[in-house]
Structure 1
Amino acid sequence: MLLCSVLGKLTVRSWVSLPLLFLCSAAGVAALLNVLLVQHVSFDQDLDLSAPLLFGFAAGLTVLSANHVRWTSGWQRRLRFGYPLLMMACALALDGLRMPVFAALAIGPVAAALLATLLVRAHRDRDAPECARA
């Protein structure tokens, strides 16, 4: 069995964009479910999102993926701890988010496609010598 990192190495830019793309794609999924499950669909209505849940998951994603980043300078290492703290502060400070359904449906698929592209590229860039046989 191979014990390899699934994610591979990330750049700082892709690491910063990872939770933002997650938030936008989650909003798109919520909007799609709203359109599919609500009987009287109106695209001008607002979508209520749970900010603590979404930003909490985004903070966890930044913490768990921080070990996969190529940190090169001191300000980037400070960003490693500051950015997840910012996400956690948003999770604690915000109660809920209201977003138009049309906007969430517009940005959701784009963010999901960019997120998938980012993850596939990071998976391809993983270093094979770091893998070990168990």
Structure 2
Amino acid sequence: MLFCAVLGKLTIRSWVSLPLLFLGSATGVAALIDLLALRRELTLQSELSLSAPLLFGFAAGLALFSADQVQWRFRWQRLSLRIAYPLAMVACAIALDALTLPIGAALIIGPIAAVLLGAMLKRTADARDEADYLTS
């Protein structure tokens, strides 16, 4: 799987955080593009409208495909969380048509989520490299 090289082994907390941090990062990128690329009068109080099916669909796919990288502690977690969490995101994708929030809020949330996502990926990669070093 493509995620193996990047993710390494995830804790359950990291796995749950991964799609949420993706959502926050994507929101920040969309706000930045909206603020810089569109040639209309925008303020930080302007509304940003995002496609909820697109964002939550990608987040559900990320949760589903990265579930193999999780260090499940109990069998019930593997059986229930692995299916229920991506399905909850799919339900959000179906139920919501659009997400609307102020551009200022998205510009605050986005960089924070991107930094946390990068830190989480770095930490899991370091743990993977350390485990590879110890086994060789």
Relative to the length of structure 2, the TM-score reads: 0.88
Relative to its length, the structure with more helix (as a share) is 2
AA aligned opposite 2:24: C
Contact 1:12 1:76 in 2 (8 A): no
Higher relative contact order (CA 8 A, sep 6+): 1
The verdict on how the C-alpha distance between 1:41 and 1:115 changes in structure 2, with shifts beyond 3 A counting, is: same
The verdict on how the C-alpha distance between 1:123 and 1:53 changes in structure 2, with shifts beyond 3 A counting, is: same
Which residue does 1:5 correspond to in 2?
4
Structure 2 residue runs of 5 or longer lacking an equivalent are: none
Identical counterparts, % of pairs = 57
Aligned 1:43-58 pairs, distance under 5 A: 43-58=44-59
Does 2:81 align with 1:82? no
Return the offset for 1:4: 9.4
Name the CA distance, whole Å, in 2 between partners of 1:109 and 1:124. 22
Which residue does 1:29 correspond to in 2?
29
| Post-superposition CA distance 1:43-65 (Å, at most 9, x none) | 11110000000000000000111
Does 2:105 align with 1:119? no
- How well do the aligned residues superpose, as a CA RMSD in angstroms? 1.9
Which residue does 1:108 correspond to in 2?
110
Runs of 4+ in 1 over 6 A off after TM superposition: none
Q: How many pairs were matched up?
A: 128
Name the CA distance, whole Å, in 2 between partners of 1:106 and 1:4. 28
The 3-state SS of whatever aligns with 1:97 is strand
